[in-house]
Amino acid sequence: MKNKSLLVLFIAASTFLQAQQRCGYNEVIEKLEAQNQGLAVRAIQEAAYQFAQENGLQKSGPLYKIPVVVHVVYMSPNENIPDSLIFQQIQVLNQDFRRLNPDTVLTRSEFKPTAADAGIEFFLANIDPQGNPTTGITRTAGQPSGFLPIYDPFTDNVKKSALGGKDPWPPSRYLNVWVCNLLNGFGVLGYAYPPAGTPPNWPADSAPADSTVQGVVIHFPVFGPNNPAATGPLTSVNRGRTLTHEVGHFLGLRHIWGDGGCAEDDGLADTPPSDSDAGQVCDFTKNTCPPLSGADLPDQIENYMDYAADSCMNMFSQQQVAAMHFILENYRKPLYESGNQMDVNALSPAELNVFPNPNQGRFRLHRSGWTGEPITAHLTNAIGQRVTEIKSIPAGTHFDWSTPQLPEGIFWLQVSNGMRHQTIPIVVQPH
C-alpha cells in the first residue's frame, strides 16, 4: 500500500514536467556541463575532421555491422512486444543509419549537401555469448525491485537480473537494447550513455563507471514503427526513431543544441547552433541562434539528435557520421569486430591458419584481421577426446604451440572466441 500511494504521488508530480522527453540524459548532462564548459566540447570536431580526412566519408556499402540483442522485459502482456515489431524496428534503424529512409526527400535544401549515409548497419545477433544460435531476442517476465516497482534510469534496474530486469550480454561485443515500461511512462522515452573513457565532445565523467549498463533503454510504446501502444502524445514519436536517437548517443553523438543556450554546442560545425530542443513538433521556422560563422541557417530539426516529431526527423550530418566512425574506431571497436565475426558461425579459415602442417607437435597458429580478443584452443584426437589442456591464447597475431609429446596421427585443433568455433586438422608426423 505504501508503495502504491507513493507511485500515485510520483505520477501526479510528473504531470508538471515536460510532456515527453526523447531521452532522460540531458538533465544529467546539464548539471555536468555547468561544471565543464569550454574547449573539450569542440574537440570532437577536430578528431572527426581528421578521421574523415584519413578514412574518407564517401565509401560505398556499410563500413560497420553491429550485432544487437533486444531484451524485452515485461510486466504485462502488452509490454511483451512481438518479434514482428522488433524486426521492423531494426529495419527503421538500418534505413536511418544508411540514409535509405523514405523521407530523405523532406530534408530541406540547405541541409541536403551535408546530410550523410552513416555507413553503419545493425543485425539481430545470431550467436549468443555462449556460442549458441540465437534469435537476438530475449524475453523476461520482469519484476522491478526498489523503492518503487518501476524501471528507472537512476538504478538502471532493467539491466540487472538481480533487480528484476535482465543482465546484458557482453556490452563491448553487443549493442544491448532493453525494452520495458520505463518510469511507468511518465515522460522519458529512452536513454543511453556515451562510451567509457568519455569522448572529447562529452563533459568529463559522462560515462557510467559500471560498464555493464552500456546500451540503450526504450519505453515500450515507442519501440518499433506504428506501435499500437503509441497513443495520445506518443503518436508524434511513433515511427521508431527514439532508438535511432539513442543509438546516436551510444555512438557518441550529443544533442544538436548542446543541452544549453547558443554558447553550448554539440561540437560539430554542420549542425547549426540552437538554444533549445525542437519540442516534439515540426517547426520549420525555428532559428534560435546566430551562426558561429557563415550563413544563418535555421535550427536543424531534421536531425535525429534533436527532439522533433518522428515525422520530421530524417538525417545525420556528415560530421556526425565522421564522429560516430571516430567513436567506433576509438571507443567501441570490439562491437563491430565481433559483429563481423557473428555474421557466420565459424572463425573463417582466412582468419586462422597453422603452419607447418604436417608438423611434429610444434606449430604456429596465425591470426589475421582479428587480434582484439583472447581465444582458447585445445587438441582432440580422431575420436574427439581432448588430448591437451585448454590453453588461453592472449590477443595477438600468432601463438607458438608446443606439444612434442604427441604421437603420430591426426588431431583437431579446436579454437573458440566464445562466440565462434573453428576446427583445424593437425597432422603429426613421426618424430
Catalytic residue ranges: 246
Residues binding Zn ion: number (CB under 5 A): 2
Ramachandran category for residue 276: left, alpha or beta (phi over 0 → left; psi -120 to 50 → alpha)? beta
Q: How far is the CB of 200 from Zn ion (least distance, A)?
A: 18
DSSP state of 5: H
Residue 308 half-sphere exposure, CB side, CA atoms within 13 Å? 22
Give the nearer residue to Zn ion in terms of CB position, either 257 or 401. Answer: 257
Beta pairing partners, 21: 188
Give the nearer residue to Zn ion in terms of CB position, either 190 or 224. Answer: 190
Q: Which of 124, 77, 67, 19 is nearest to 220 (CA)?
A: 77
Residue 67 parent element (H or E): strand 64-74
Beta pairing partners, 192: 216
CB contact at 8 A, 246 and 23:
yes
Q: Which of 16-24, 135-143, 313-321, 343-351 is the region at the interface with Zn ion (rule: CB under 5 A)? A: 16-24
Q: Please state, as a whole number, how many other Cβ atoms lie within 10 Å of the Cβ of residue 66.
A: 26
> How far apart are alpha carbons 206 and 215 in whole angstroms?
14
The three cell numbers of residue 295 are: 550563413
Q: Which of 17-25, 65-73, 379-387, 411-419 is the region at the interface with Zn ion (rule: CB under 5 A)? A: 17-25
Q: How far is the CB of 153 from Zn ion (least distance, A)?
A: 12
Q: How far is the CB of 217 from Zn ion (least distance, A)?
A: 12
Helix, strand, or coil (residue 35) = helix
Q: How far is the CB of 25 from Zn ion (least distance, A)?
A: 6
* Helix, strand, coil tally for the chain in percent (to 5): 30, 20, 50
Residue 174 CB partners (closer than 8 Å, separation 6+)? 67, 68, 69, 125, 129, 168, 335, 338
Span 18-37, contacts to Zn ion by CB under 5 A: 22-23
Q: What angle do CA 362, 368, 372 make, to 5 degrees?
A: 105
With binding defined as CB under 5 A, does residue 243 bind Zn ion?
no
> How far apart are alpha carbons 166 and 180 in whole angstroms?
11
Q: Which of 15-23, 219-227, 263-271, 368-376 is the region at the interface with Zn ion (rule: CB under 5 A)? A: 15-23
Q: How far is the CB of 29 from Zn ion (least distance, A)?
A: 9
> How far apart are alpha carbons 342 and 333 in whole angstroms?
14
Give the nearer residue to Zn ion in terms of CB position, either 308 or 424. Answer: 308
Q: Which of 75, 81, 146, 110 is nearest to 296 (CA)?
A: 110
Q: How far is the CB of 303 from Zn ion (least distance, A)?
A: 11
Give the nearer residue to Zn ion in terms of CB position, either 22 or 420. Answer: 22
- Residue 205 has φ and ψ, to the nearest 5°, of 65, 20
Residue 182 CB partners (closer than 8 Å, separation 6+)? 151, 152, 153, 158, 188, 189, 190, 217, 218, 219, 220
**Minimal CB distance to Zn ion: which residue?**
23
Q: How far is the CB of 218 from Zn ion (least distance, A)?
A: 12
Q: How far is the CB of 258 from Zn ion (least distance, A)?
A: 12
User: CA 295 from chain center: how many Å?
Assistant: 34
Residues that bind Zn ion (CB under 5 A): 22-23
